[in-house]
């Protein structure tokens, strides 16, 4: 793979609530912002995703009686981790990190805006059938390769990368441009899933070598 006009950078959920001080902070989350900013000028196609929940979202522990954060609830589409209230539409927590160079992106995919279904992946909601439209956008632009960065490695990044691979895109995850939550070993299991699916993990330095045109795989 070479980074060229058929390669897209997918920047996942780099929002205030997932960074230090946020409602669902990923440890060291804001540290990825300068890494991502350094990658962005090397891509012609850049997509941002943004969690955008209503306040009554069913993935919030506060909206379930006798439930706590990190409990697992059974939804019509299967098991669902219950989270702290986060990234409520229009709130400060839902905004992108202030240092992220959002003006370089061409499109924002908002996800999780339906109260009854969560959405980790940039491609599908958690019912695994409702599409966000991102696959069509990438296909129309002739994209063959997707490079994933953002928060958190073991949830929204992994789900997005796995779906990208299933949809036929060659997929890379830039490890130093991601951070994980790691609930009960979730990081190890998702990394193993990605490796089995053929997703390539790399460092940002690999992408930046030779002006961002170095073959990766």
Task: Just list the catalytic residues.
Answer: 13, 111, 156
Q: Which residues contact 99 (CB under 8 A, 6 or more apart)?
A: 30, 33, 34, 37
Q: How far is CA 69 from CA 64, 158, 190, in A?
A: 10, 21, 21
Name the 3-class secondary structure at 18: helix
Q: Residue 162 in contact with residue 199, Cβ under 8 Å? A: yes
Name the 3-class secondary structure at 176: strand
How far apart CA 16 and CA 9 sit, in angstroms, is 20
């Amino acid at each position: 793979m070479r980074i060229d006009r058929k390669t897209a950078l997918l920047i996942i959920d780099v929002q205030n609530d997932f960074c230090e001080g946020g409602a669902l902070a990923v440890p060291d989350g804001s540290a990825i912002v300068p890494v991502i900013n350094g990658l962005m000028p090397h891509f012609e196609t850049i997509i941002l995703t943004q969690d955008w929940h209503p306040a009554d979202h069913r993935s919030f522990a506060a909206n379930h009686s006798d439930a706590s954060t990190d409990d697992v609830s059974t939804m019509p589409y299967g098991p669902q981790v219950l989270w702290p209230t986060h990234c409520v539409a229009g709130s400060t927590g839902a905004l992108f990190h202030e240092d992220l160079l959002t003006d370089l992106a061409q499109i924002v995919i908002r996800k999780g805006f339906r109260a009854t279904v969560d959405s980790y992946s940039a491609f599908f909601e958690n019912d695994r059938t409702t599409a966000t439209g991102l696959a069509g956008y990438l296909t129309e632009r002739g994209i063959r390769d997707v490079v994933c960065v953002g928060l958190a490695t073991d949830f929204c990044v992994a789900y997005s990368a796995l779906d990208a691979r299933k949809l036929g895109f060659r997929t890379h995850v830039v490890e130093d441009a991601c951070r994980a939550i790691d609930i009960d070993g979730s990081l190890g299991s998702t990394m193993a899933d990605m490796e089995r699916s053929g997703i390539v993990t790399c460092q940002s330095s690999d992408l930046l070598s030779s002006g961002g045109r170095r073959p990766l795989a």
